[in-house]
Structure 1
Amino acid sequence: MHLGNLRTALLAWLQARLSGGRFLLRHDDLDLPRRRPGAIEAIESDLNWLGLSWDGPSLRQSDRTGLYASVLSAFRRGGVLYPCRCSRRMLADLSAPHGGWPLYPGTCRDRAVGWGPRQGRLPSWRLRLEPGDLRWREEIGPTGCLEAATQVGDVVLRRADGFLAYHLTSAVDDLLMGVTTVVRGADLWRSTAPQVAVCERLGRPFVSCWHVPLWLDEGGQRLAKRQAAQGLEPLRREGLDAAAVIGRMAASLALVPAGSRLSAVDLLQELDLAHLQAQLRRGAEDLGTLKEGFGIKCPTLRSD
């Protein structure tokens, strides 16, 4: 895990403990080309080293593919999916949870393109979204609302190569795991709308969200696996222990003074939920900047 992931995990752990909830750990490990041997063990080792214990056994999405297939089959029978044979490049852009969000122009929406293979290639499966607002309860970032037709578009739930989309699996798992609050980076704010649409199709309300500020590097860029951002190992080589790392993460959000040394439990005892929310909202400008890049207006910073 890079440091941005770990700081968000710390915030999720704090939110769960301060609200009297449970902290659940799920590994989204369905993207086989990007999955590395030992990654799950390394993630759990990092969390344990920082003192971020989770409740119950961790869950792997790779163990639940039959469940997701059942949901897709029900959607297909219900007529809310349609096959799409647009280019691989377009599908890759539209299915990625990060970055820009080009609207799908609806090229295959009303075409009889067929579900079977053509020239050795299967179609992707898109969720048909009707005009209207997709809303969710947002506790930290801008108001949780995007218009389905003009700001989201018909999203891919199953790629042409057979891999399942983040939007589908995350929404299904959140419902079945009894998740009430999702704490994640601000860069995933916009990916919430397709997940709301999936939940609506399943007849269930979407969870509450904390889209928290991103941790930026010296150049103002977000830390991310795609840029090979460093994790805990370089800090350990510098001689930092868990208390020093927790202190550095908390200080980066002005939760404690710079140079503080404290355990996750110590930090928990210094905070209450209202203070944590207020401090994170002060950092929500990161999300406002991101949304301006999408051409989305942010009239308010949160929704009650």
Structure 2
Amino acid sequence: MNYCGRFAPSPSGPLHFGSLIAAMGSYLDAKKNHGNWLIRIEDIDPPREVAGAADKIIDTLDRFGFEWDEPVLYQSTRYTAYQDALHELQKEKLLYQCICSRSDIQAHGLQGVEGAKYPGTCRKRGFDNSTYAPQRSALRIVTGDQPISFVDGLRGTICQNIAQDIGDFILKRADGLFAYQLAVVIDDAYQGITDVVRGADLLTSTPRQIYLQRMLGLPTPHYTHLPLATDKKGRKLSKRLGSDPLNTDNPITALMAALEFLGQPLPPEYPASTREFWIWAIEHWSKDIICRQ
């Protein structure tokens, strides 16, 4: 199968330097391997979205010289596919309704790799169409008590026992919105994604995604998790923290900084255009020299 990568931002604000690192890493790896590179807008969480952000993101990527190989995919057009996947899991008796609040979960005092771990309180409820109320209960997937392993392109073998480290996780929220973990798995398969290059903040999500892929009979891409850019307090740059948006008036300066952050060689002379920058960056791209954080 030919290489196919993607960049999948959420429209919760403008792109910042951390976004550029993830976009650049995925783009360079795809182009170095003579593959396709796609953009997906992950707009499945309306309460967190900022009006106009999706268009601004696409415009910024264009101004920075990124070239994508297919029309942009919007997850908000994919709800039927997500619901179909839930039906498949339901038929396998892998879903159950959960009415636990966040405070209910925290009260159990079980700690996982991402905070309070779900203790399985509602697992015996199962799923009953006659009683399922989307506005009152979430849908969780039953997780098996066995390790999920994968080989990360930078970090080597990663292993996680989801049941012990995370607990049964949500696929559809109590407010009726589909969860990221489900949507990303369905859309990676739909778009034929073979290689996922993204930030290390999603490293602990990968075993859950692989588990879902296995339960749904979907292919598993190769994963590479890039080091994260942080602010002066050591916090990951994010839209939520109000990280400075990229300056589209002078893209080459930011492109050079991102390339240097990824440990790649810089052009001997300042590029005259974004096209000149990308020609150099693609030719000299090597995952092997990215620093591991």
Asked if TM exceeds 0.5, the reply is yes
Aligned partners of 2:32 and 2:104: how far apart in 1?
A: 42
Higher fraction of strand: 2
Q: Which 5+ residue runs of structure 1 have no aligned equivalent?
A: 93-98, 286-304
Matched residue type, 2:253: A
Deviation per residue, 1:110-130 (Å, 9 max, x gap): 246866367x94211011011
Work out whether 1:207 is the aligned partner of 2:221. Answer: yes
Q: Which runs of 4+ in 1 moved over 6 A?
A: none
SS in 2 for 1:227: coil
Identical positions, percent = 30
Matched residue type, 1:255: Q
Q: How many residues were matched structurally?
A: 271
Aligned partners of 2:196 and 2:104: how far apart in 1?
A: 28
1:199-278 residue pairs with structure 2 within 5 A?
A: 199-233=213-247, 236=249, 241-257=250-266, 261-262=270-271, 263=273, 265-270=275-280, 276-278=286-288
RMSD, matched Cα: 2.6
Aligned partners of 2:73 and 2:289: how far apart in 1?
A: 31
Cα 1:245–1:272 change in 2 (3 A) is: closer
Match of 2:33 among 1, 6, 19: 19
Please report the TM-score for the alignment, with normalisation by the length of structure 2: 0.84
Which residue does 1:300 correspond to in 2? none
Which residue does 2:139 correspond to in 1? 125
Q: Is the 8 A contact 1:84 1:125 kept in 2?
A: yes
Cα deviation, residue 145, structure 1 = 2.0
Aligned partners of 1:124 and 1:2: how far apart in 2?
A: 32
Q: Which 5+ residue runs of structure 2 have no aligned equivalent?
A: 1-14, 107-112
Higher fraction of helix: 1
Aligned partners of 1:268 and 1:193: how far apart in 2?
A: 33
Cα 1:103–1:91 change in 2 (3 A) is: closer
Aligned partners of 2:54 and 2:268: how far apart in 1?
A: 30
Deviation per residue, 1:191-224 (Å, 9 max, x gap): 1111111100111231111100001123322100
1:30-179 residue pairs with structure 2 within 5 A?
A: 30-88=44-102, 100-111=114-125, 116=131, 121-179=135-193
Please report the TM-score for the alignment, with normalisation by the length of structure 1: 0.81
Cα 1:259–1:151 change in 2 (3 A) is: farther
Q: Which moved more, 1:170-179 or 1:143-152?
A: 143-152
